[in-house]
Amino acid sequence: APPRRSPDAQAWEPVTPELLRPARFALETYNRGRVAGARAVLGAVSGRVRRAGGGSLYSLKATVEEPPCSDPMVCRLPVSKKTLLCTFEVLDELGKHRLLRGDCGPVDAKITDDKNEISSSFFPLLNKDPLPQNFSMEMVSLFKHFITTYNRTYDSEEEAQWRMSIFMNNMVRAQEIQALDRGTAQYGVTKFSDLTEEEFRTFYLNPLLKEGPGKTMRLAKPIDDP
Amino acid sequence: APPEWDWRNKGAVTKVKNQGMCGSCWAFSVTGNVEGQWFLKQGDLLSLSEQELVDCDTLDKACMGGLPSNAYAAIRTLGGLETEDDYSYHGHLQTCSFTAEKVKVYINDSVELSKDEQKLAAWLAKKGPISIAINAFGMQFYRRGISRPLRLLCSPWFIDHAVLLVGYGNRSDVPFWAIKNSWGTDWGEEGYYYLHRGSRACGVNVMASSAVVD
C-alpha cells in the first residue's frame, strides 16, 4: 500500500503571491536593524503551506542575497560569499504574521565545504529589538549553570563553543514556544538544551509513529454509564 | 468519567524510567500500559522489561522507533514480558536473550481506544493507564505546567513520541492529561508532562491503545 499521506501535507511549490507575502515578512525580520544599503534582498523562493482554523503556517526556502560588505565585525559572510540559503517558518493568524523559525547558511559548495562555517539560526526575538547589552553574558552564565546542573563535558573547546551557540539559539526558541503556548506551561532550560532539533529528533523521538497505527486492533468496548 | 483520576495514587504506575539516547519510547509506553493492566487484574505492580522489546520485537526497529500495536503483537508472540530486573535496560540494540521461563506477565489481546477524549477519560478511570502517541512539539524545552501549543504548530499528523496517560484533572480550571514520559525524572515535572485536555492537543487522542489481560 502507498504510504499514508497527511491531508495537510503539500509539495514544495515555486513562489506564488501567497508565498511572497510571508517571505517578504521573513526578510524584513531578517533585515531588522540594518541601515538602507546594508539590507539583504530576496532571491528565489519556494514553499508550502499548512492550514488549520483561522491560521496558515508557511514553510519557506529562499535564497537571500547579502550586499557586499567589507567590515568583518559586521558582515554575516566574508566578502566573496554573498548568497545564503534560508529556511523560514512564518505563521499567519488572521493576517498577522509571526516568524517562528529562521535558519540561514551559505549556499555555494565552496562555502559548504568550509567546516568552519555553519548554518546559523535567527529568531524574531533576537531581531525584534536591539539585544540587551548583557545578553551574551547572561547566556554564558546560563550555559555554565546548565553544564553544572546536567554534568556536561565536551571533548574540546570548539565543541563547547558550538554547544553554547546551540544553547543560545535554543533559549530564544524556547521563548518563542513560550510566547505561543496557550496553556500554563513554562519552557526553558532542560537537559536537552544543548542539542539541535535534528539531534533531539534523532536520539529521542520515534519517526515510525507518523506512518500510522500499524497492526489493526479491534476497537475497545466503550465504558458503560455507571 | 469522574472529574479527576490519577493512577499514580492507586499504585498502578512504576517509577519514571529513562530511555536514554534511543528512540524506544514505544517500548516504554507499552510496558507502562501492561504494568497497569497486570496490576489491575492481578494486584501486583511489576516493573517490566523494555529491553526485551528493543531486542526481540522484530516487527519494530529498536532505537530507530516502533509502534505500540506491533509491540503488543510481539509480546503475545514471545509469550510475555520479563521483569526489569531479569532483562534490564541498556538503551541500545542487543542480541535477543529472552527466556520463556523468566516471563512474569502475559497479555491476551490488545485494543484500540476511542478518539473522543471524554471517552478516553472514562476508559482510563475504569480500566487503567493508556498507551498513547503525541506530537512532541515543544517538549525539548518543557519544564512544568500545562502545555497547550497552537494546533498549527503541534499537528496531530506529525506524531513522533509514545507516552503513557496515567491520569487527568484540572489545575485552576485548566483541564489536563497527566502523562508519564520516559526521559528520566530530571525532565518536566519529575518526569511527567501535562498536556491540555479536551482540545485534542498535539494529537493526544489519535493513537490510544491498551493491552488486555484476562
Whether residue B72 contacts residue A214, with contact meaning beta carbons closer than 8 Å, is answered with no
> What pLDDT was estimated at residue A80?
53
Short-list A50, A28, A32, CA closest to A41: A28
Interchain contact, B149 vs A201, CB within 8 Å: no
Q: Where are the alpha helices (DSSP H) in chain A?
A: 17-31, 109-113, 124-128, 135-149, 157-180, 197-204
Residue from B108, B141, B195 to probe the interface with A (highest A Cβ count within 10 Å): B141
Nearest residue on chain B to A187, judged by CA atoms?
Answer: B142
Is B96 an 8 Å CB contact of chain A? no
In this complex, the residue of A8, A91, A209 whose CB is nearest that of residue B65 is: A209
Nearest residue on chain B to A182, judged by CA atoms?
Answer: B148
**Tens-digit pLDDT profile for residues A24-56:** 888 888 887 777 777 888 888 888 888 776 778
Minimal Cα–Cα distance from A178 to chain B, Å? Answer: 9
Residue A72 pLDDT exceeds 60: no
Interchain contact, B153 vs A91, CB within 8 Å: yes
> What pLDDT was estimated at residue A131?
52
Residue A110 pLDDT exceeds 60: no
Integer angstrom CA distances of residue B2 from A10, A157, B167: 41, 55, 11
Whether residue B91 contacts residue B189, with contact meaning beta carbons closer than 8 Å, is answered with no
Amino acid sitting at position B38: W
In this complex, the residue of B70, B112, B142 whose CB is nearest that of residue A190 is: B142
ipTM, interface predicted TM-score of the complex: 0.96
CA distance B134 to A170: 22
Q: Where are the alpha helices (DSSP H) in B60-153?
A: 68-78, 117-127
Short-list B171, B205, B150, B22, CA closest to A56: B150
Residue A130 pLDDT exceeds 80: no
pLDDT band at A77 (very low <50, low <70, confident <90, very high): very low
> What pLDDT was estimated at residue A33?
72
Question: B192-196 and B146-147 as β-strands: parallel, antiparallel, unpaired?
Answer: parallel
pLDDT band at A132 (very low <50, low <70, confident <90, very high): low
Amino acid sitting at position A67: P
**Tens-digit pLDDT profile for residues B18-72:** 999 999 999 999 999 999 999 999 999 999 999 999 999 999 999 999 999 999 9
> What pLDDT was estimated at residue A7?
42
Whether residue B69 contacts residue A215, with contact meaning beta carbons closer than 8 Å, is answered with yes
**Tens-digit pLDDT profile for residues A181-190:** 999 999 999 9
The region of weakest confidence among A42-56, A144-158, B196-210 is A42-56
Is A199 an 8 Å CB contact of chain B? no
The region of weakest confidence among A76-90, A119-133, B137-151 is A119-133
CA distance B135 to A28: 31
> What pLDDT was estimated at residue A204?
97
Integer angstrom CA distances of residue A3 from A211, A212, B121, B135: 7, 9, 31, 19
Interchain contact, B142 vs A187, CB within 8 Å: yes
CA distance B154 to B161: 12
Instruction: DSSP for A174-218, please give it.
Output: HHHHHHH--SS-EE---TTTTS-HHHHHHHH--GGGGG---S--E
Residues of chain A with pLDDT > 90, as a percent, come to 27
> What pLDDT was estimated at residue A133?
59
The region of weakest confidence among A39-43, A167-171, B97-101 is A39-43
Residue B69 three-state SS: helix
Is A158 an 8 Å CB contact of chain B? no
Whether residue B105 contacts residue B94, with contact meaning beta carbons closer than 8 Å, is answered with no
The count of C-alpha atoms lying within 13 angstroms of the C-alpha of A119, restricted to the half-sphere facing its C-beta, is 14
Residue B161 pLDDT exceeds 50: yes
Short-list B61, B87, B86, CA closest to B74: B61
Interchain contact, B126 vs A223, CB within 8 Å: yes
Is B150 an 8 Å CB contact of chain A? yes
